Amino acid sequence: MIHHPWGQVAQPGRIPYIADLLAVPAPAGKPFGELWLGAHEAAPSAISLPTGELPLPELIRQQPAAVLGGKTLAAGFAELPFLLKILSCDEPLSIQAHPDKALAAQLHARDPEHYPDANHKPEIAIALTPFEAMCGFRPAAAIRADVLRLAPLAPFGADLPDDAQWLRAAYRRLFTVEDAVIRTAGQALVATLSAQAEPTPEEACFLKLWRFFPNDRGALSAFFLNHLDLRPGESVFLPANEPHAYVNGVIVECMANSNNVVRAGCTGKFIDREVLLDMLAYRQGPPPVTTGRKLAHGSLYEPPIPEFAVELIDLKAGDAVELGSDDLVSILLVIEGTCALRVPGQPSLTARRGSSWLWPAAVPGMALVCESEAGRLVRARPNL
């Protein structure tokens, strides 16, 4: 559990999602940002064994085939290839992107303090509550129309040639002009937009970002990036080199086993603007929003990468579902209700809300039986 400053805090009538999930105290003002489940060295999970607790990376080192499975090892993964999280935010996260494998290796070799591993970090966000985010670039024509329509935005591209390079040049200008230009533009926009009865989604998002990060050039990214309002069950996949920022709400987040983030604004953490501007793919248009592939007991989200797939399993009282490992390791997290986990020849285990479970590949099958009025589990596994 990580208490990022942007995490959810207790409010009248609302406990932060992660504190409520884990049934832990939520003191006033204490933010609950992320719950990590995985083997990344920054915050590895501990496995409860009859002999005591063992860090998951150590268990994998001791028994790689039994834990990860032959398919995972054959695919070239010597450690758990994914990291599963619950992310909950009351405040916006940074304007950021994640490097591809080649760039991750370069950044880690050059600056291991700020880029702690050599892996890429494609990720999926699956909304558990209404979730607000910015992902990928809007069409250049739409951005340019706002730059021409709103006078305070003129310094960020009104005078640039309207050609195929306009977006790249305009976004670079946003992150390289003097601070005074940003301050003047932002304050003028606030004065103009605050008087409007119905701001556009981009305008409303800018006002929110500027309120949390006054005089921060990252807030003006609201006019460049696609604004998304995900409903529960909807998801968006973010490949490498896509700019994004999460704004508000709760998601299941799964990613390749990495903690590499290149930030450009709206943060008190390390900023690496030149790296971000050079790495971005500058693809235009909204990212696909999906609800996964429907299964008999839930939905399966399968991004086009081998590191992970995510399943949301929904059960009613008395429901029983048989699952197979398919020689793949899984992590299970119970987010609603209570279930029994039944493995042939073993005592039944009670999996209560907030508990998480390692399902080693060597255990070929398992039955989930819902023992409460309703149950919901998250299952993450390699996508092989």
Active-site positions read: 263
- Partner residues linked to 290 by β-bridges: 235
Strand 365-370 relative to strand 338-342, pairing: antiparallel
Best CA proximity match to 277, nearest among 218, 194, 353: 218
- Partner residues linked to 155 by β-bridges: none
Token pair 């003028």 is found at 188
* Share in percent of the chain as helix, strand, coil (round to 5): 25, 35, 40
* Token pair recorded at residue 140: 């250049």
3-state secondary structure of 192: helix
Find the helix or strand (DSSP H, E) in which 148 lies. Answer: helix 140-149
Going from the C-alpha of 182 to that of each of 203, 222, 252, the distances in angstroms are 16, 14, 34
Token pair 């255990």 is found at 363
Phi, psi (deg, nearest 5) at residue 34: -140, 145
Distance, CA of 347 to CA of 333 (rounded, Å) = 20
Distance, CA of 44 to CA of 199 (rounded, Å) = 43
3-state secondary structure of 335: strand
Token pair 């559990």 is found at 1
Best CA proximity match to 136, nearest among 33, 281, 308, 24: 281
29 burial level (CB within 10 Å; 0-12, 13-18, 19+): exposed
* Token pair recorded at residue 111: 């600056």
Contacts of 133 (CB under 8 A, 6+ apart): 125, 227, 228, 230, 236, 244, 245, 246, 247
